Structure 1
Amino acid sequence: MYNLREIKKIAVLLFVRNAYEELKHKALIKGESSKNVLLFKYLNKRIVNTVKDTDYNYFIIDSSQQHGRTFAERFKNAFKSIFQAGYDAVISLGNDTPQVNSKTLHDVVDHFEHNDVVVGKTNLGGAYTIGLTKYAFSKCSFEAVDWRTSHVVESIEERAIFQGSSFVQLDEVYTELSTHNDLNLFLQQLLTKHIRLEDDTFFLSLISKPNHFDNYPQLQMDIILHGVTEIRGSPSFI
């Protein structure tokens, strides 16, 4: 098993689709293709800026650079390309969990001191981050993980233990954005202060009644009683 003294080079893998590819697979804002593209561009830009706030090298591997017939093959090949560049550990991040921040990366690195596999879990059972040491990657069977299900994290843990890699899950469970309902839930959590972001301006701009923003008590009551039923795109984002 690796320890932190042996892990001298750590890189971050941003495994994402570009905004137009993302549009083919999900619609967070109903019936609004252009607004979805703006949202996906924002999410991609946000995760890149998050990594830029740290000292870690990062690699953006988007749809045009991913190779393989299945998601498992493409994901594995992305990790492999970075390990082949001489890194001792790789931390993957997606773009669909806006609560991920620079602390997330530091937490994963801290856990590498005693663990080969570090995972952060979403509310849907997916993984918002997966950190692997070179040792863990050499033994990992990506094809055996139940990707695209609500059992991703449990599946990774089972495989890690089976293959002799030490495993730990981060304490924080973050909200994943995969559907319109997910975005509705996220906005409700944001507005009722169940979750907090360093910058929530863009997401607040998605609510159809921005005049309510100065009256949080009333807005919170509206959310509790009625939910966020209308979402609009942000015309100011480029």
Structure 2
Amino acid sequence: MIKEHAKHTAILLFANSAEEDSRAKKLHVDSGLLESLNQHALKVIEATDLPHFHFSEKEQVGHSFGERFANAIQAIFDKGYLNVIAIGNDSPHLGKRHIQKAATLLLQKKVVLGPSLDGGFYLFGITREHFDAHGLESLPWQTSFLYQDTLAYFDTVACQTATLETLSDIDTVKDIKRLTNYIKSLGSKWMILFSKLLSQRMQFSQRMEIAPEILVQQTPYNKGSPFCFA
């Protein structure tokens, strides 16, 4: 089945570099720590044996998030693939099984969404026949309505959708704190990473003489999941 998927399906890792994430998300941590998230995503992708392409800020083309995302998907279709599975780098619970299930559902001509707790989604799978760049660009990116409005959009164009399990992603310090409650399912390496992130965030707060609670209230940056206040 994997060979059949590989003939038609490619994975798009739509994720900025660790340096850009560190700057844009305003987490104020060593970018080397954020690189662990990129490496985790790549490790999961490589385990699927599916072809993949990484579009960081260097490869992305367009002004808005929706335009850049749609252009990246179109670029993969232009390579001859019939299906694209797009993921980010900020869902530590994302595993090979999620991608493989999405690949199977795409062969059934379904649009696949992996919803995240904040109202966005961590995975988006689409066939070439269901892809419309303008429709994708028009979705309410970076709002808490993204997942529901995406379902509604594909319903209006008579595309059948399939939903994976809901996962959490990392866009804010609050997300990191919440994920530490799931350390048994994530593993010790993530606890070490999150502890460093939170420790560095606290040090930054103290240097700026601002309470961490105030910093958490800043509007975070993210790459597709909605903006939300921590």
State the TM-score, normalizing by the size of structure 1: 0.76
Which residue in the other structure is 2:8 paired with?
A: 9
For 2:174, what is the secondary structure of its paired residue?
Answer: helix
C-alpha displacement of 1:165: 1.3
State how far apart, in whole Å, the 1-side matches of 2:159 and 2:174 are.
36
Question: Are 2:153 and 1:159 equivalent residues in the alignment?
Answer: yes
Which residue in the other structure is 1:98 paired with?
A: 92
State how far apart, in whole Å, the 1-side matches of 2:194 and 2:119 are.
27
Which residue in the other structure is 2:180 paired with?
A: 187
- Report the aligned-residue RMSD: 2.2
Match of residue 80, structure 1, among 74, 85, 93: 74
State how far apart, in whole Å, the 2-side matches of 1:64 and 1:102 are.
26
State how far apart, in whole Å, the 1-side matches of 2:127 and 2:134 are.
10
**What percentage of residue pairs aligned between the two structures are identical?**
28
User: Which segment is superposed worse, 159-168 or 9-18?
Assistant: 159-168
State how far apart, in whole Å, the 1-side matches of 2:127 and 2:98 are.
16
Which residue in the other structure is 1:176 paired with?
A: 169
Q: Does the CA contact (< 8 Å) of 1:140 and 1:160 recur in 2?
A: no
Q: Does the CA contact (< 8 Å) of 1:140 and 1:163 recur in 2?
A: no
State how far apart, in whole Å, the 2-side matches of 1:9 and 1:119 are.
19
C-alpha displacement of 1:40: 1.4
Which residue in the other structure is 1:212 paired with?
A: none
Q: Does the CA contact (< 8 Å) of 2:105 and 2:112 recur in 1?
A: yes
Q: Does the CA contact (< 8 Å) of 2:25 and 2:172 recur in 1?
A: yes
Unaligned runs of 5+ in 1: 210-229, 234-238
Q: Does the CA contact (< 8 Å) of 2:113 and 2:123 recur in 1?
A: yes
For 1:159, what is the secondary structure of its paired residue?
Answer: helix
Flag as ranges the 4+ runs of structure 1 deviating above 6 A. Answer: none
For 1:13, what is the secondary structure of its paired residue?
Answer: strand
Which residue in the other structure is 1:60 paired with?
A: 54
Q: What amino acid does structure 2 have at the position aligned with 1:46?
A: H
Question: Are 2:106 and 1:112 equivalent residues in the alignment?
Answer: yes
State how far apart, in whole Å, the 1-side matches of 2:168 and 2:174 are.
11
C-alpha displacement of 1:232: 3.2
1:134–1:6 Cα change, 3 Å: farther
